[in-house]
Amino acid sequence: GAVVSQHPSRVICKSGTSVKIECRSLDFQATTMFWYRQFPKQSLMLMATSNEGSKATYEQGVEKDKFLINHASLTLSTLTVTSAHPEDSSFYICSARFPTGAPGGSYNEQFFGPGTRLTVL
């Protein structure tokens, strides 16, 4: 199946700093990528939908000025957590939507990255 990578896999930072997380679709072009957040023992919660070349769409309650999303190319979306605080510590997961009708496509439209564990001290 298609591969989605995330970098870094784990990051520890001090409170007040900004952290950038990259999500890449390695063998397909993704016009749409999704960013999820998962707190311990909880399910994945969608934060925002990232569309290549346009502004991201944020879910209710997610601060767009704090979680900056850039989808500048068809294979890369970035999530920047600005002025991170301990309550932002979480597991951040991206997924990339496989283009409908593209060769190698399937009904498994979304492929997930391995996640990034963010710890803010």
Partner 1 sequence: DAKTTQPTSMDCAEGRAANLPCNHSTISGNEYVYWYRQIHSQGPQYIIHGLKNNETNEMASLIITEDRKSSTLILPHATLRDTAVYYCIVRVARGSARQLTFGSGTQLTVLP
Chain residues binding partner 1 by CB under 8 A are 1, 4, 6, 32, 34, 36, 43-46, 49, 91, 93, 95, 97, 100, 107-115, 117
DSSP 10-76: EEEE-TT--EEEEEEESSS--SEEEEEEE-TTS--EEEEEEETTS--EEPTT--TTTEEEEEEETTE
The least CB distance from residue 34 to partner 1, in Å, is 5
Q: What is the DSSP letter of 99?
A: P
**Rounded to an integer, what distance in angstroms lies between the CA atom of residue 76 and that of residue 71?**
6
The least CB distance from residue 117 to partner 1, in Å, is 7
Nearer to partner 1, 8 or 16 (CB): 8
Nearer to partner 1, 13 or 112 (CB): 112
Nearer to partner 1, 10 or 15 (CB): 10
